Amino acid sequence: MAEKTLPKGYEPADVEKRWYQHWEETKAFTPEADPERESYSIVIPPPNVTGKLHIGHALNMTMQDILCRFNRQQGKNVLWVPGMDHAGIATQNVVERQLAAEGVSREDLGREKFVERVWQWKEEYGGAILQQIRRLGASVDWTRERFTYDEHLSKAVREVFVQLYEEGLIYKGDYIINWCNRCHTALADDEVEYAAKAGKLYLIRYPYSAKGGSGERLPDLVVATTRPETMLGDTAVAVNPEDERYKDAIGMEVALPLTNRTIPVIGDSYVDMEFGTGCLKITPAHDPNDFEIGRKHGLEALQVITSRGIMSDAAGPEFAGLTTQEARKKVVAELKARGFLVEVQDYDHNVGQCYRCKSVIEPHVSTQWFVKVGPLAKAARAAVADGETKILPDQWVKVYYNWLDNIRDWCISRQLWWGHRIPAWTCEECGELTVSREDPMACAHCGSAKLVQDEDVLDTWFSSALWPFSTMGWPEKTKDLEVFYPTSVLVTAFDILFFWVARMMMMGIHFMGKAPFSDVYIHALVRDAEGKKMSKSVGNVIDPLIMIDKYGCDALRFTLTAFAAMGRDIKLSEERIEGYRHFVNKLWNAARFVMMNLPESMPADAAEREVEKTPGVHHQWIFHRLEQVKEDVASALTEYRFNDAAQALYQFIWHEFCDWYLEMLKPEFNGEDDNAREAAQVAVWTAFTEVLVLLHPIMPFVTAEIWAVLPDTAGDDIVHAPYPAPRPGAKNEAAEKAMVLVQETIVAVRNIRGELNIAPSKGLALMVRPSDADAARILEENRSMISTLARLDSLTVDADITPPKAVASAVVRGSECYVPLAGAIDFEDELARLDKELGKIEKELAVGAKKLANEGFVSKAPAEVVAKEKEKVETLSDKRDKLIDLKERLAAASQE
């Protein structure tokens, strides 16, 4: 796979393409359905066939891939099923736009030719996202790729529909649905998005058509509405029976303005006495709540708006044929002219819009197909309540329960041509329905051959609700179903908790007898660096494909993982991705250093050696820490604490393994002691191979490339490497304690160098008064290491030491460290340098203080700009105070 040596710089593009092609060709991620092995399975949330990879997909896929690769390392039989959704509305819209550009409509083509055209588009352009998922390194089994419109999955869809129909859980009826005038189709309740919009509240007078019981004329009722055009379809005015203002009005009739009709005043506890005037106009055909009130009171549902968003004949000759917006203007003008408009108020409210095209939704009474979800929802709720399925973070459990507790029957018919056509036929002779698994030749009721299939197709979410079991071969009893169902976890975004997750729970329990997942992990949103939602219009979108091109896939994956704290949105910036590209480079350079110091092949017993007992506190310490990291990473990934796993690896690899351990190995690699060199080689080879395996689930490509060239792993594929086994004897608290003292002593000397601007090449003397005999022993045993890494000419460890007067000092774990300054620095030059630096800081502080004293700047500049200026001034002030203190100490020392 890779060369035997590593080039100077890591170039991800070639590496990523080469390794992914290798994994796909070798079927590295294709498991056998083996019932004897512990299984672990995930079904990919199927992206739309029209989709393009966005940063949310990148996060979702990265998390799933980490889990799959990690569980393969645990020895489990892992299946990750990929696939796509046929996306009825979205796909039909794409092809219709394509046709429109050619001057053709779908009606011009006819249904059969149009569907052929969509399939043609799908084969030519659809599914680009699957190639993009490959670029993320997703370890899916491409031999099991599925599409919700595949022949087999279509068979599963028909079987489910027929079974539910036969059980009385699917029915056809007139009901108010959400209608998109742009897409010309019904939408389920959870496909409607709500957006806050500035609108108007119109107060309209409805006069009584007769006098009250006392013979006196009652004051007119006043209703409040945001949609005055719908009043033409009013069939009642409702008041709350408990409302003292209107008790006498119940049972009377009012004249409906602009029409020749009168409508009753009804009493219903649904009416909010505090909203508006406490009088509610009831328009059953154009409001879901009004529809329910209308059914309860036996009111007519008068349709005054057509499915095209045009006023119907029932709206009256003055308004028929107008659009809803035109009708609104005309109705308001007429109400005002005739004295019925009492007041118009500004009013902000939530407006329903189509989740696909963002057009305003029009409630519409229509004959549709529905799933009676009550029994299904009850079982889906119980599965979580009883612990069969766990939802994480648990804040989403209450949301899940609330939705299921208040669920309405699911409208599953869509007025589209692309999708699973409803398997129901109406007999032209007897008018009865025939619902069948196979296309019927004759009516099931009268035997007539004159059958017409329902024109509608099924909601896309209906087929994707079957995804966890339809992708594994249901309704046949397959090996995949036996071994891999129920799946282990579903990783998804919160916005499809209802669209998809709850419906998969319903269908999986009903048809398989078991919930489809053990765990449901709901990941957070990826926002921009300021915490704002990413939006093309705002211009703050981060394109994952561009980031992969610039920084490599591993850098993007690690960044997303490092910030993926459970329940917290991710604040992402390109700078952070670039920062983790430096981490990839750090690992690469560490690999080059390790390779340069390893033999072509390791000793035959290298893998069996008790490396944790290798002489030298640095060896014992690194294996102690490695053991802790192995436990921390395994625990974090098992509990979906992705960020904790990433941070544990980052801290260990960069700061402990690279910055300390590899530096501490140089004397052994370059020394004359062959035994010490070989022991160091075996230790670093062992530690580094384990590091690569630990990091592999998050950074698959760079770890695979390095693994392939290491001695005794060359030619192997890291995807098959097991998770590093525990090494109980490696736990060594004494080694960690000793290493902390050694490291902090070295850091103390380095800090003194930096503070006093002493060149790294300048050898220093260090005098230490140890805190106790144990500290003295540790410092003496590691004298050579401390002297090398701190660049000392001499090291004196003595409890009775008397340092000279001109010293820089530090206290490390109770031990007093002194660096004599005579000969180490030129006091006069250093004091001059400090004066110059202090002068520069004072100037900068004066500029900052002037800005903050300017009321115009503080009040008019953006808050974040003012905050940054304040932070800058505080930082400069702190630096100035430290330099003044240092100058005073040096001045005093120079006099001694």
How confident is the model over 440-458, as pLDDT tens digits? 999 999 999 999 999 999 9
Separation of alpha carbons 235 and 185, rounded Å = 26
Cβ atoms of 15 and 587 closer than 8 Å: no
Task: Quote the percentage of the chain above a pLDDT of 70.
Answer: 95
For residue 213, the model assigns a pLDDT of 46
Residue 11 domain-assigned? no
User: Do 701 and 746 fall into the same domain?
Assistant: no
Band of the pLDDT at 215, cuts 50, 70, 90?
Answer: very low
Q: What is the CATH number of the domain that holds 644?
A: 1.10.730.10
Q: Which two tokens stand for residue 847?
A: 């500029």
Q: Which two tokens stand for residue 337?
A: 């002219």
- Residue 141: name the closest of 248, 64, 222 by CA: 64
Separation of alpha carbons 720 and 763, rounded Å = 49
Band of the pLDDT at 333, cuts 50, 70, 90?
Answer: very high
Hey, how many other C-beta atoms are within 10 angstroms of the C-beta on 29?
Answer: 23
Separation of alpha carbons 130 and 144, rounded Å = 13
User: Do 222 and 324 fall into the same domain?
Assistant: yes
Question: What residues are paired with 663 via a beta bridge?
Answer: none
User: Do 630 and 608 fall into the same domain?
Assistant: yes
For residue 202, the model assigns a pLDDT of 93
For residue 528, the model assigns a pLDDT of 87
Residue 496 domain-assigned? no
* CA angle 779–783–789, rounded 5-degree value: 110
User: Do 262 and 310 fall into the same domain?
Assistant: yes
Separation of alpha carbons 654 and 660, rounded Å = 9
Q: Which two tokens stand for residue 36?
A: 């004897």
Cβ atoms of 302 and 238 closer than 8 Å: no
Convert the pLDDT of each residue in 159-204 to its tens digit. 999 999 999 999 998 877 777 767 767 666 666 676 777 788 899 9
At residue 553, what are phi and psi to the nearest 5 degrees?
-65, -40
Cβ atoms of 849 and 841 closer than 8 Å: no
Listed as own residue / partner, the contacts of 847-854 with beta carbons closer than 8 Å and 24 or more positions apart are 848/872, 848/873, 848/876, 849/873
Per the structure, the complete domain to which residue 686 belongs is given by 546-731
Least confident of 18-22, 116-120, 348-352: 348-352
- Residue 542: name the closest of 130, 65, 59, 90 by CA: 59
Cβ atoms of 414 and 463 closer than 8 Å: no
Separation of alpha carbons 488 and 498, rounded Å = 20
For residue 715, the model assigns a pLDDT of 66
Separation of alpha carbons 600 and 75, rounded Å = 29
Residue 483 domain-assigned? no
Please state whether 387 falls in left (phi above 0), alpha (psi between -120 and 50) or beta: left
Band of the pLDDT at 714, cuts 50, 70, 90?
Answer: low
Asked which of 766, 792, 825 is the last residue of a domain, the reply is: 825
Residue 554 domain-assigned? yes
For residue 530, the model assigns a pLDDT of 86
Cis-peptide into 31, omega within 30 deg: no
Strands 517-523 and 390-392: parallel
Upper half-sphere CA count for residue 665 (Cβ side, 13 Å): 29
Quickly list DSSP for 584-625.
HHHHHHHHHHHHHTS-SS--TTGGGS-GGG-SSHHHHHHHHH
Identify the residue with better confidence: 851 or 721: 721
Band of the pLDDT at 49, cuts 50, 70, 90?
Answer: very high
Return the residue matching tokens 């031999």. 143
* CB proximity list for 579: less than 8 A, separation 6 or greater: 559
Q: Which two tokens stand for residue 267?
A: 């009493």
Task: Give the Å distances, CA to CA, from 738 to 630, 663, 730, 777, 780.
Answer: 21, 17, 15, 9, 11
Task: Give the Å distances, CA to CA, from 468 to 188, 400, 401, 487, 492.
Answer: 21, 19, 21, 7, 14
Separation of alpha carbons 13 and 19, rounded Å = 10
Q: At what angle do helices 642-650 and 55-73 cross, to 10 degrees?
A: 70
Return the residue matching tokens 């690769």. 69
Per the prediction, the chain carries an average pLDDT of 91
User: Do 550 and 644 fall into the same domain?
Assistant: yes
Q: Which two tokens stand for residue 144?
A: 């099991």
Decide if pLDDT at 63 tops 50. Answer: yes
Cβ atoms of 380 and 506 closer than 8 Å: yes
At residue 754, what are phi and psi to the nearest 5 degrees?
-65, -45
What average pLDDT does this structure show over 665-693? 96
User: Do 793 and 662 fall into the same domain?
Assistant: no
For residue 440, the model assigns a pLDDT of 96
DSSP state of 318: T
- Residue 549: name the closest of 574, 585, 586 by CA: 574
Residue 622 domain-assigned? yes
pTM, two decimal places:
0.82
Cβ atoms of 152 and 481 closer than 8 Å: no
Q: What is the CATH number of the domain that holds 866?
A: 1.10.287
Task: Give the Å distances, CA to CA, from 692 to 69, 72, 590, 636, 724.
Answer: 13, 15, 11, 17, 10
Residue 6 domain-assigned? no
User: Do 705 and 836 fall into the same domain?
Assistant: no
User: Do 814 and 836 fall into the same domain?
Assistant: no
What average pLDDT does this structure show over 875-891? 77
Band of the pLDDT at 241, cuts 50, 70, 90?
Answer: confident
Convert the pLDDT of each residue in 351-389 to its tens digit. 677 766 677 767 777 788 999 999 999 999 999 999 999
Q: What is the CATH number of the domain that holds 233?
A: 3.90.740.10
User: Do 621 and 709 fall into the same domain?
Assistant: yes
Residue 583 class from Cβ within 10 Å (0-12 exposed, 13-18 middle, 19+ buried)?
buried
Convert the pLDDT of each residue in 798-849 to its tens digit. 999 988 877 788 889 999 998 888 877 767 776 777 788 788 888 888 888 8
DSSP state of 798: -
Residue 480 domain-assigned? no
Beta strands in 744-867 (DSSP E): 764-769, 792-797, 807-812, 815-820
The reply, when asked if residue 536 is annotated as ligand binding, is: yes
User: Do 698 and 756 fall into the same domain?
Assistant: no
Convert the pLDDT of each residue in 245-291 to its tens digit. 888 888 899 999 999 899 999 998 888 888 878 999 999 988 888 88
What average pLDDT does this structure show over 335-341? 95
For residue 665, the model assigns a pLDDT of 97
DSSP state of 531: S
User: Do 643 and 761 fall into the same domain?
Assistant: no
Asked which of 731, 765, 798 is the last residue of a domain, the reply is: 731
Question: What residues are paired with 766 via a beta bridge?
Answer: 795
Q: Which two tokens stand for residue 876?
A: 């400069």
- Torsion on CA atoms 621, 623, 628, 632, rounded to nearest 10: 130
Residue 88 domain-assigned? no
Asked which of 799, 825, 851 is the last residue of a domain, the reply is: 825
Q: Note the residue count of the chain.
A: 896
User: Do 710 and 811 fall into the same domain?
Assistant: no
Task: Give the Å distances, CA to CA, from 131 to 125, 151, 170, 849.
Answer: 12, 22, 38, 55
Cβ atoms of 690 and 725 closer than 8 Å: no
Cβ atoms of 606 and 682 closer than 8 Å: yes
* Structural domain count, the chain: 4
